[in-house]
Chains A and B, each alone.
Chain A
Amino acid sequence: MTAFLIVLVIILFGITVLQMAKIFGMSKTPEQLGESSEIASDKDNNINGWLMLMFVFVTYAILIVSFWKWGEVLLPKAASEHGQGIDDLWLISMVLIFFVGFITLWLLSYFAFKYRGNKNNRALYFADNDKLEFIWTVIPVIVLAGLIIYGLFTWTDIMNVSEDEDPMIVELYAYQFDWRARYSGEDNTLGEANVRLIEGANQLGVDTSDPNAQDDIVVNELHLPLGRKILFKMRSQDVLHSAYMPHFRAQMNCVPGMITQFAFTPSVTTEQMRLDEEVMGKVSRINSIRRKNSIELMAKGEEALEPYEFDYLLLCNKICGTNHYNMQMKIIVETQEQYDAWIAQQATIATSLNK
């Protein structure tokens, strides 16, 4: 079916090209078919001028259709405290972009249409106007100054983590092609680690003789307590990875040979997010797609897809090798009590490695 559609599109495309060439061909008057016929005639100017006017509307239309059809696939509300600041700045920038874009694209196409060439017209000899140029230099300067200042404040707020906030320290450890998380335990201090210490079950190369390491907990699923600032310390075992947590508006590269960091405070639990209207809509759309695909799969004698339930994600977002496309970890945000109950069940380094 798909193959047939493609063939159909290609054939239709060929016909379009031929027809369009014909139409443009017919638009030529006989006297223009002489030596210089490859230079645009008044008729060409007219046709293309009108097309230019249509072009701006088609551009707007593609944008509007995209918004209408795919506005709902976008990320839901931010699930972290700083995320709201990013979303606000995003909205302001977007409004500005659309405002400027709509006007400039309109002027461009409208002028191309309005002043389409004609033998009887004369262009205006207009080479300079200091006042105009001053105005459209100064306006971007002012607007951008505002944006830069707003952006810098937001950025500094996010990136500067002060010790006073007493963040919980968690290590994110990346390797081809999976993630591990190491909780710092009761002392909130991570034990020393280096890839040279990797051996057997000690997958993260933790220095097991370090007293700080004894209460560290290594897991493969990230649980975060609601409302507590988490400071992620990131390491990589082999190549560059990037810890991308889109719902929390958080991302930082994991670099072999150094420790990078990023901090945020989760503000919406997984349970709450699942009940969010936008998320529920998205999940139900995804599930209906999956049901449809399952029917096709089962017809081919393959296994059906499992129904989808929303979870926060940690994805790798820096090309890291063949399985880069499937390097993920589930993140669960829960209340402090739920978190405490979960962490209590996990084995510390002292019990799992230093038996």
Chain B
Amino acid sequence: MSAHAQEHAVDDHGHHHKETFVTKYIFSTDHKMISKQYLITGLFMGIIGIAMSILMRMQLAWPEEPFVVFELLLGKWAEGGVMDPSVYLALVTIHGTIMVFFVLTAGLSGTFSNLLIPLQIGARDMASGFLNMVSYWLFFLSSLIMIMSLFVEAGPASAGWTIYPPLSALPQAIPGSGAGMTLWLVSMAIFIASSLLGSLNYVVTVINLRTKGMRMTRLPLTIWAFFVTAIIGIVSFPVLLSAALMLIMDRSFGTSFFLSDIFIAGEVLHNQGGSPVLFEHLFWFLGHPEVYIVILPAMGMVSEILATNSRKPVFGYRAMVASILAIAFLSTIVWGHHMFISGMNPFLGSVFTFTTLLIAIPSAVKSFNWITTLWRGNLQMNPAMLFSIGFVSTFITGGLTGIILGDSALDINVHDTYFVVAHFHLVMGISALYGLFAGVYHWFPKMFEGRMLNKNLGFVHFWITVIGAYGVFFPMHFIGMAGLPRRYYTNTAFPYFDDLADVNVVITIFAIITAAAQIVFLYNFIHSMYYGKKGPKNPWKATTLEWTAEVKHIHGNWDGPLPEVHRWPYDYSKPNSDDTDYMIAGQDFIPQDVPMMENEEELHH
């Protein structure tokens, strides 16, 4: 019903009203434009975040050596080119914050939820285009504030991206906990508002605006992933907001939610009765679902891209949906595995070990199903496909070490070491980035009116990145197992770690090479935006609805009536009844809007 109502609205005034530069490019309510805004803002933040990681890696490989780059970029925090310990911690903090929230949450889920939800479910736009616009501009504002915080006199927030109090609450403890931390909290509060508006919009759109025939069981896995991600966001982000608000009160209004019995800078603070462990609970109640907010959209896109490029249905559609739901549910009850040694009751540690290791089951099912999707396919090695295969690879290598970290007894000795850093970078950082890249290569033609990214630059980008990423993170497990704590400005204070210096050099060289490969991508992206070759309307011969929409961007997506859906989204290489050819002769895919044919059996998936 709602689909029809929308149709009329479009017929009446849809794309007749005049568009100015401001309404088209800046305050646009069109989901396609908003998705591009998200992507470009996300990529910009990504450049900052990755550049920061390179600065950190240089300091770790060649501790306290002067570099001109340091002096150039860090100014007074690198006098004579030698990095200051406090700015190292600031880099750690802002790198984490930017990459997790601004790049992998907003840049990934924001971009592709906006682009694909209306296009793949057959809707003219989001349920509320206005809220969608507000959501983007709040995100933009929070990005702006986060960048501004880098230029504060005493330095940006430096308590780690987890901002555990009391360190984050007391400017006496670390200079970054002054104005820098205030801006961090303000920025994140706005970010959460943006994320919530976006998520609510996604959920409402998926529930209400599906086109005729698009049952939930016919949704592409991308939409399932975005839908469930949005729900996790709605459940968990408000908890972070409350934690941030309480922290703001502790910092500015003298409350004691998280502070108690503190003697610092020569005096006793008045705070009594608060608990830093409470903050950890609140933070990780968001923080853990957050990693699934990051990885689920990537999983959805990878499922879709693997199926399309394998020319095969995704294996076990029902199991894939069930595992998304299972992961989403479990993700909200495992936060305690970040706190095994926080001082909470050891019995809770047992409970969280149990729930955490359970997550391995749906994850294993997903991995096996992806691998089986490739089996006896006819794989089209487009860059998006390569990144999707890369995703499965890093998801496996990174995920498997989770079996160790999720086990409370084993976590004791590697907690907060580089082993953890290697684990989560592979399983959520690199994997999600691969998902982002796969999505960009695959849906670029949808974003930029048929223009395509250069595939050869894509191949170069992929192969250097995959080898480089393993070159960075495999050795990193070893320095973690050697007992090296993370977030150390230098390891030279411990002669015991002297023999790890050359490992750190190797890691840094791989990191620089890998980061340089991203320049190839940036060039490809910007160049193809304007000069990319135009491909056919449905370049990857995909079944989903977005490829039936107009190539040229119009408000409302489809020039005529909305398409009607007759089948599930994975009818690739479906044979005809006597198995001599495909169902449609000579065409190995059947788009979702093609009615069921005579003698065709609908799969009970």
B-contacting residues of A (Cβ < 8 Å)?
A: 2, 6, 9-10, 13, 16-17, 20-21, 24-25, 35-40, 44-45, 47-49, 51-52, 55, 58-59, 62-63, 66, 70-71, 73-75, 85-86, 89-90, 93-94, 96-97, 100-101, 104-105, 107-109, 111-112, 115-118, 121-129, 132-133, 136-137, 140-141, 144, 147-148, 151-152, 154-156, 158-160, 175-176, 194-196, 198, 205, 237-240, 242, 244, 246-247, 249-253, 255-258, 260, 262, 282, 285-286, 289-290, 305-306, 308, 310, 313, 315-326, 328
Tell me which residues across on chain B come within 8 A of A242, comparing CB atoms. 341, 415-416
User: Are A75 and B493 in touch, CB under 8 angstroms?
Assistant: no
Least distance between B481 CB and chain A CB atoms (Å):
5
Tell me which residues across on chain B come within 8 A of A310, comparing CB atoms. 496
- B246-287 to A contact mask, C-beta < 8 Å, 1/0: 000000000000011111100010000111110000000000
Majority DSSP secondary structure for residues of A touching B: helix
User: Are B512 and A258 in touch, CB under 8 angstroms?
Assistant: no
Closest to A261 in B: B343
- Partner of A9 from B379, B483, B513 at Cβ < 8 Å: B513
User: Are B407 and A122 in touch, CB under 8 angstroms?
Assistant: no
Closest to A158 in B: B409
Considering the chains assembled together, what is the distance between the CA atoms of A156 and B466 in angstroms? 40
In the complex with contacts A140-B361, A313-B496, A128-B605 CB distance below 8 A: yes
User: Are B466 and A73 in touch, CB under 8 angstroms?
Assistant: no
Least distance between B387 CB and chain A CB atoms (Å):
12
Least distance between B304 CB and chain A CB atoms (Å):
15
Closest to A247 in B: B483
Tell me which residues across on chain A come within 8 A of B353, comparing CB atoms. 148, 151-152, 155
How many A-B residue pairs have C-beta atoms within 8 angstroms? Tell me: 418
Closest to A141 in B: B361
- Partner of A256 from B261, B316, B349 at Cβ < 8 Å: B261
Least distance between A263 CB and chain B CB atoms (Å):
11
Closest to B488 in A: A325
Question: For residues 54 through 68 of chain B, which have their beta carbon under 8 Å from a beta carbon of chain A?
Answer: 62, 65
Tell me which residues across on chain A come within 8 A of B312, comparing CB atoms. 123-126
- Partner of B341 from A238, A253, A322 at Cβ < 8 Å: A253
Could you show 12 A-B contacts with beta carbons less than 8 Å apart?
A38-B453, A38-B454, A73-B482, A73-B500, A111-B374, A117-B380, A155-B346, A155-B408, A253-B342, A286-B498, A318-B164, A324-B89
User: Are A140 and B360 in touch, CB under 8 angstroms?
Assistant: yes
- Partner of B350 from A156, A315, A320 at Cβ < 8 Å: A156
Question: For residues 142 through 178 of chain B, which have their beta carbon under 8 Å from a beta carbon of chain A?
Answer: 159-160, 164-167, 170, 173-175
Tell me which residues across on chain A come within 8 A of B443, comparing CB atoms. none
B421 in the interface, Cβ–Cβ < 8 Å? Answer: no
Tell me which residues across on chain A come within 8 A of B535, comparing CB atoms. 35-36, 38-39
User: Are A44 and B493 in touch, CB under 8 angstroms?
Assistant: no
Considering the chains assembled together, what is the distance between the CA atoms of A43 and B491 in angstroms? 48
User: Are A121 and B378 in touch, CB under 8 angstroms?
Assistant: yes
Tell me which residues across on chain A come within 8 A of B164, comparing CB atoms. 239-240, 318-319
Chain B residues touching A, range: 35 or more
Tell me which residues across on chain B come within 8 A of A237, comparing CB atoms. 262-264
Question: For residues 557 through 575 of chain B, which have their beta carbon under 8 Å from a beta carbon of chain A?
Answer: 570, 572-575
Considering the chains assembled together, what is the distance between the CA atoms of A105 and B392 in angstroms? 9
User: Are B496 and A118 in touch, CB under 8 angstroms?
Assistant: no
Closest to A321 in B: B174
- Partner of B475 from A51, A70, A90, A112 at Cβ < 8 Å: A70
- Partner of A258 from B277, B454, B456 at Cβ < 8 Å: B277
User: Are A127 and B466 in touch, CB under 8 angstroms?
Assistant: no
Closest to A39 in B: B539
User: Are B381 and A117 in touch, CB under 8 angstroms?
Assistant: yes
Considering the chains assembled together, what is the distance between the CA atoms of A85 and B167 in angstroms? 34
- Partner of B263 from A160, A195, A322, A325 at Cβ < 8 Å: A195
Known contacts A44-B381, A136-B368, then 6 further A-B pairs from the complex at CB < 8 Å, ordered by chain A residue: A37-B533, A108-B374, A122-B588, A148-B357, A242-B415, A315-B494
Considering the chains assembled together, what is the distance between the CA atoms of A124 and B481 in angstroms? 44
User: Are B259 and A257 in touch, CB under 8 angstroms?
Assistant: yes
User: Are B396 and A101 in touch, CB under 8 angstroms?
Assistant: yes
User: Are B410 and A62 in touch, CB under 8 angstroms?
Assistant: no
In the complex with contacts A96-B403, A127-B570, A315-B485, A73-B503 CB distance below 8 A: yes
Considering the chains assembled together, what is the distance between the CA atoms of A171 and B136 in angstroms? 51
User: Are A125 and B456 in touch, CB under 8 angstroms?
Assistant: no
The 10 tightest CB contacts between A and B, nearest first, are A257-B260, A246-B483, A159-B346, A260-B343, A48-B381, A326-B493, A24-B456, A38-B452, A195-B263, A325-B488
Tell me which residues across on chain B come within 8 A of A158, comparing CB atoms. 409, 412
User: Are B379 and A322 in touch, CB under 8 angstroms?
Assistant: no
Tell me which residues across on chain B come within 8 A of A47, comparing CB atoms. 381, 459
Tell me which residues across on chain B come within 8 A of A129, comparing CB atoms. 315-316
Tell me which residues across on chain A come within 8 A of B509, comparing CB atoms. 9
User: Are B167 and A321 in touch, CB under 8 angstroms?
Assistant: yes
- B352-364 to A contact mask, C-beta < 8 Å, 1/0: 0110011011001
B540 in the interface, Cβ–Cβ < 8 Å? Answer: yes
Tell me which residues across on chain B come within 8 A of A116, comparing CB atoms. 379, 381
User: Are A73 and B276 in touch, CB under 8 angstroms?
Assistant: no
User: Are A97 and B400 in touch, CB under 8 angstroms?
Assistant: yes
- B92-134 to A contact mask, C-beta < 8 Å, 1/0: 1000000000000000000000000000000000000000000
Tell me which residues across on chain B come within 8 A of A289, comparing CB atoms. 498-499, 501
Tell me which residues across on chain A come within 8 A of B175, comparing CB atoms. 322
Closest to B382 in A: A40
B434 in the interface, Cβ–Cβ < 8 Å? Answer: no
Tell me which residues across on chain A come within 8 A of B220, comparing CB atoms. none
In the complex with contacts A105-B397, A156-B350, A66-B460 CB distance below 8 A: no
Closest to B359 in A: A144
Considering the chains assembled together, what is the distance between the CA atoms of A55 and B466 in angstroms? 9
Tell me which residues across on chain B come within 8 A of A194, comparing CB atoms. 261
